Amino acid sequence: MKDFLSSLQDRVLICDGAMGTMLYSKGIFISRCFDELNLSKPELVREVHLDYVKAGVDIIETNTFGGNRTKLMSHALEAETREINVQGARIARQAAGSDIFVAGAIGPLGVRIEPWGKTSIDEARAIFRDQAEALLEGGVDIFILETFSDLNEVLAAIQGIRDASNRPLVAQMSIEEDGNSLEGTPPEVFARRLDESGADVLGLNCSVGPHTMLENIERIASVTSKKLSVQPNAGKPKNIEGRNIYLCSPEYMASYARKFVQYGVRIVGGCCGTTPQHIKAIRSSVRSISPSFQPAPAPSRLPSTVAETAATSLERGPRESSNAIPLEHRSRLGSKIARGEFIRIVEMIPPMGHDFSEAIERAKYLQAHDVDAINVTDAPRSSARMNAISLAILLEESTEIESLAHYTCRDRNLLGMQADLLGAYALGLRNLLLITGDPQLTGDYIDATAVFDVDSIGLTNMVRRLNHGIDVGGKSIGKPTGFVIGVGANPGAINDDEELKRFHYKVEAGAQFVLTQPVFDPAVLEHFWRRIEDCKIPVIAGILPLANYHTAEFLNHEVPGCAVPDSILERMRKADSPEKARAEGIRIAQDILETVQGTVQGVHVRGPFEQYETPVEVLSVLNLKGASR
């Protein structure tokens, strides 16, 4: 067989089309792990390969797009990772014979990697390396990376493959209708990075049809001299009687194949919705062009102010930049944190419905008693409560007290959260507490679903980028935001090593202060403080006045990481009336506050939500208005 890269110099190579579409058409349910069919139904997979071979392809891809360890884990098949990939390569090799190239297909991990998720780049690199090694064992000639939207992840994949082999590598990203990746990275940026990373061929696949891909392959051609590949969907699917039907005809796809070639594309194939009929038409169209055709001149290279600056911004990531707003100028809370002043925060839960008049009155009451900020929580139950950002903005518009808005990762994907926060900043919100959030398992709507596209570490990275004028895709947003970034931590976490590791990640991501879960044992907080001294960010301790003995028992036995010492349990047990219990709960909270006051830079007093006199009474022992810690 001729060398793959040499073949690209001589002619356009035709790649196959959709594997999943064809398997689905042959009766395989969409919920099934298609990669596992390499083991349980190898003849069916071979049949699809042979259909594409008959259509006249030069390249067939292995049925291993989702064959990495993390994706197989969702099907409890991680132990079969090597076998699935080796067998997938062998099936394709048998169908291809000696004249057709076999490409090892590798897709995304299906989990977020840093800076947006828990999986490190090194871990991702190792997972991709393992898959590449198994595909090599099965006999692939080249590798094709497909349907990546996160530039960091595709770069990790390239590194992992290069750890295993120097065989030719095609790296393809997916784009939206505007040409940017699904994470918002412009094609000029990701093309340059893929070029520099060592990919032999750059391209696009999936998500959009041929029209959008043609427009954006021109943009890629303007910033790289590498060979290009294109594998569009057969248009956008239309749901007909419960099935997604792709409406681009083979003739329409073929007409665009000729246009791709005119812009220097050397690999043409298809993705979702494309069939052997589409590929056969594409092959005929491409072969009809004279062997001596000259590609159209590539558009002139974009000026550095567009392409190079964007690429530099993405590389800079969340590191400091000269246009960031100083912490002390972001908000009054930010100014107090920067000056080392002791901070008083009280928690408020959003109201049911849309009437916020009572919340305004309570905010004015807290303001009159020298509270610095109101921590507006994310609604703890899936019920019809106003969201935290809306109430926080309304409080700031109607009173002179500042708000600290909870923002959780539960209900939005990364780009949705970015849009929310840009809008919130435009409306005047400045202080954020970024938390992962808990799944909704109780409340009025127990079937409400969660998203959890990223966790609080990824969200913190995103907000820090916005504070440096960069969106998640690496593009400038113009003027930077000026959010004060807070995060949560649990000093009494059962797995304290994991909690500390995540805390350090949050600080690296850009956290500027930490607000703890309620503290009942000052020794626990002291231990936590000693272990995070190197992080140099202020700690605001959570204080929860106990309402009665039953509440104390519940927290001690049923809330993980919330241990109530026996001495406090005994004090609450002896308080044998509601009035005595309330008074004792306040005294306990005051005792804790006075003990931790010299260690932390502030306190955050929680509930009870209907009695704001209680947190004011707890704070009355401070008498530290305007004083430094």
Number of domains in the chain: 2
**Are residues 269 and 15 in contact, defined by beta-carbon separation less than 8 angstroms?**
yes
The C-alpha atoms of residue 629 and residue 610 are separated, in whole angstroms, by 30
What is the span of the domain harbouring residue 157?
4-309
The answer to whether residues 405 and 299 belong to one domain is: no
The 10s digit of each residue's pLDDT in 61-107 is 999 999 999 999 999 999 999 999 999 999 999 999 989 999 999 99
Picking from 542, 574, 596, the residue at the C-terminal end of a domain is 542
Grouping H, G, I as helix, E, B as strand and the rest as coil, residue 129 is helix
Beta-carbon count within 10 A of 352 CB: 11
| Residues ≥6 apart with Cβ < 8 Å to 607 | 347, 544, 545, 614, 615
The answer to whether residues 195 and 142 belong to one domain is: yes
The answer to whether residues 211 and 176 belong to one domain is: yes
Going by the DSSP 8-state scheme, the letter that residue 75 receives in this structure is: T
In a domain, 449, yes or no: yes
**Are residues 216 and 191 in contact, defined by beta-carbon separation less than 8 angstroms?**
no
**Are residues 540 and 514 in contact, defined by beta-carbon separation less than 8 angstroms?**
yes
Picking from 276, 309, 342, the residue at the C-terminal end of a domain is 309
Q: Please report which confidence band the pLDDT of residue 448 belongs to, taking 50, 70 and 90 as the band edges.
A: very low
Q: For a pLDDT cut of 70, what percent of the chain falls above it?
A: 87
User: Nearest 5°: phi and psi at 4?
Assistant: -60, -50
Beta-carbon count within 10 A of 450 CB: 15
The answer to whether residues 280 and 334 belong to one domain is: no
Closest CA relative to residue 15, chosen from 170, 155, 160:
170
In a domain, 557, yes or no: no
CA distances from 447 to 263, 451, 453 (A): 50, 13, 18
In a domain, 185, yes or no: yes
The domain spanning residue 162 has which CATH number?
Answer: 3.20.20.330
**Are residues 557 and 586 in contact, defined by beta-carbon separation less than 8 angstroms?**
no
Numbers of helices and strands, H then E, in the chain: 24, 18
The answer to whether residues 289 and 357 belong to one domain is: no
The domain spanning residue 378 has which CATH number?
Answer: 3.20.20.220
The answer to whether residues 12 and 132 belong to one domain is: yes
- Sequence-ordered strand ranges (E) for 539-625: 539-543, 602-605
The answer to whether residues 279 and 393 belong to one domain is: no
Phi and psi based region of residue 139 (left: phi greater than 0; alpha: psi -120 to 50; beta: remaining):
left
The 10s digit of each residue's pLDDT in 183-231 is 889 999 999 999 999 999 999 999 899 999 999 999 999 999 999 999 9
In a domain, 523, yes or no: yes
The confidence score (pLDDT) of residue 70 equals 96
Q: For a pLDDT cut of 90, what percent of the chain falls above it?
A: 68
Q: Are strands 243-246 and 237-240 parallel, antiparallel or unpaired?
A: antiparallel
The 10s digit of each residue's pLDDT in 506-539 is 999 999 999 999 999 999 999 998 888 888 899 9
The confidence score (pLDDT) of residue 512 equals 96
Least confident window among 399-403, 411-415, 538-542, 589-593: 411-415
The answer to whether residues 284 and 329 belong to one domain is: no
Q: Please report which confidence band the pLDDT of residue 328 belongs to, taking 50, 70 and 90 as the band edges.
A: very high
Going by the DSSP 8-state scheme, the letter that residue 327 receives in this structure is: G
The answer to whether residues 334 and 250 belong to one domain is: no
- Which residue blocks in 469-521 are alpha helix, DSSP H? 496-509
In a domain, 601, yes or no: no
- Which residue blocks in 185-339 are alpha helix, DSSP H? 187-197, 210-221, 250-262, 276-287, 307-316, 332-339
The C-alpha atoms of residue 25 and residue 440 are separated, in whole angstroms, by 37
Q: Please report which confidence band the pLDDT of residue 428 belongs to, taking 50, 70 and 90 as the band edges.
A: very high
The C-alpha atoms of residue 246 and residue 269 are separated, in whole angstroms, by 16
The answer to whether residues 353 and 499 belong to one domain is: yes
Q: What is the DSSP string of 430-474?
A: -EEEEE------SSS-TT-----SS-HHHHHHHHHHHHTTB-TTS
Beta-carbon count within 10 A of 273 CB: 23
In a domain, 595, yes or no: no
Beta-carbon count within 10 A of 574 CB: 11
In a domain, 498, yes or no: yes
The answer to whether residues 304 and 329 belong to one domain is: no
Q: Please report which confidence band the pLDDT of residue 238 belongs to, taking 50, 70 and 90 as the band edges.
A: low
In a domain, 317, yes or no: no
The answer to whether residues 369 and 486 belong to one domain is: yes
Picking from 274, 309, 344, the residue at the C-terminal end of a domain is 309
The C-alpha atoms of residue 13 and residue 141 are separated, in whole angstroms, by 14
